[in-house]
Structures are given as C-alpha cells and as structure tokens.
Amino acid sequence: MTAALETKPIEQDKRLLTPPVQSAPCVPPITSLLAHRSIIKTMVVRDFQGRYRGSLLGALWPLIHPVGHLLLYTFVFCIVLKVRFGQDTSTSNFSLYLMAGLLAWGAISESLSRATTCILEVPNFVKKVVFPVEVIPIVVALSAVTTQIGGLIILCACAAFYQGSLHASLLYLPVIMLPQILFTVGFSWILASLGVYIRDIRHVMSLALSVWMYMTPIVYPASALPQNLKFMLWLNPVAGMVSDYRRILLEGQAPDFTGYAVYAAVALVLFVSGYYFFMSTKRSFADVM
C-alpha cells in the first residue's frame, strides 16, 4: 500500500477503529463489507489522494498513464503491426477498442500487483490496532476502479465524438463492472494473504501479469486467435469482461450473456473463497511480520 494510508496515524483516527467481532471469520463477506463501508470510503479517498499528493500534475496522472500506454500500443500494434478490430481499419477505431480493453485490464492488474504487498506495507494496522485488515485489499481494488471510471468517461467522450453518439447499451456498464470488482477483490484477498507468508509472490505476479495481458485479447481481437487456442478465452475471465466492455461501449450490443454467466460465476466464487481464505490466515499475520 502506498504512503497514502500512512498520512494520518491510524491510532488517532477513530473512524477507522472497529470492534474485533466485526472481523470474525464466520461473517459473510457482503455483511462484513457493509459493516466497514465508512472505513472503506475514507481509506479509498485517502489512498487515491495520497498517491499523487505533491506531484506536479497531481490528479492528472491517473489519466496520463492510460493515455501513454494507449499511444504506445497504438503505434506498435496498429501502425507497425497493422492489427485491426472489425471492418473499420482506421487508427481511431483501433484506439477506441484498445482503450476499452486497457482500462479494464489496467484496473485489474494494478489491484493484483499492489495486493501482493499491501499488508506488508502497513504493519501498524496489523500489530498495534484493532483494525479490520481485510478492508486493505478492498481499498487497493476500489482505488484502481476510480482511475478506470475516469478513463471510461474519456473513452465515452471519444466514442461519442468519433461515432456520433453513445449507445443505449452503455446502461449495461454497472452489470459488467460488478463481476470485475468481485473478481479483483477476491483475488486481491488471496494475494494479500500469500504476500505475507511468501515474499516472492510479488515477483511471480509481476511476470504472471505480463503473460496474462498478452493471453487476453486487449491489443488484438479475439478472432485473431488460432482455432486451437480459442479455449483460452473461456479459461480467462478477463477476456470475457474485455469483450463485453467493447460490446456495450463501442458496438451497441448487450453483453454476451453466456460468457457473462461464466465469468460472473467465477468472480462470485473467487470473491467468497478469497474472503474466507484471507480471514482464516490473517490470525498469524502479526507473528510472521
């Protein structure tokens, strides 16, 4: 976790204190999240603001990063390698499809990368205070989603300018974002817990995320995959999410509900299992750290 969560001593902020009973492993994850919603909100705002406090461009950095990657990938894959999405072979169309994929992937990869060390970076939360440490991976995930939302606003503006209007299918956006958030939070809980016991996990995830990105049709269309590799789309929940983001934002279509059912089910299972895994392992965090 960044220094953003350290800017105000946790011992002095009574809003972030909670009775130990709230963190009991038997508490269902949704009930636990609702009980800690004010803590989560406070910490997400603090984390988002703290990451860019003191920098010259401040809150513009969350928008500069995706735009920078967009320009780089557009040059390499569209101009140099001549990759195209659909019948429209223009660079503008490629950039829109690329951005729709990059925004979702950026939020997921940032969350998973930060999750591997988020508990280690706030030892006072674990050792000195009665604090629900299970909210820390949630803060990491939601902080990344706030950046994604800012990028989606820019994407919608660009799509409206290029295509002439926005599609009514944009109303499906919350439907797609919900399983993305559940998937990311559940996976982040697992990585945050493993990161306490296995310090090499952050290096493993750094390499795994690079491989995972290129296994996901972000910089290329899913149709470009050879037939014998199409099964990877079903094994990769993020591939379905990226595809549905493009369908609702750029193509004016409803989500692929068959694929949606698959990755939503995976997200829900991961969310619940990740929560119980974290809660069952967190009791030894203080001893290890």
| Contact between residue 189 and residue 274 where contact means Cβ atoms under 8 Å apart | yes
At residue 209's C-alpha, the angle toward residues 61 and 108, to 5°, is 55
Please give the pLDDT value at position 170: 94
The residue type found at 154 is: I
CA atoms of 37 and 124, how far apart (whole Å): 21
pTM (predicted TM-score): 0.86
Please give the pLDDT value at position 66: 74
In tens, the pLDDT along 252-288 reads: 999 999 999 999 999 999 999 999 999 999 888 888 8
Residues 6+ apart with CB under 8 A from 13: 42
Indicate the SS3 state at residue 176: helix
Please give the pLDDT value at position 15: 47
Q: What's the whole-number mean pLDDT along residues 136-158? A: 91
Please give the pLDDT value at position 285: 86
CA atoms of 266 and 246, how far apart (whole Å): 20
In tens, the pLDDT along 51-60 reads: 766 565 556 6
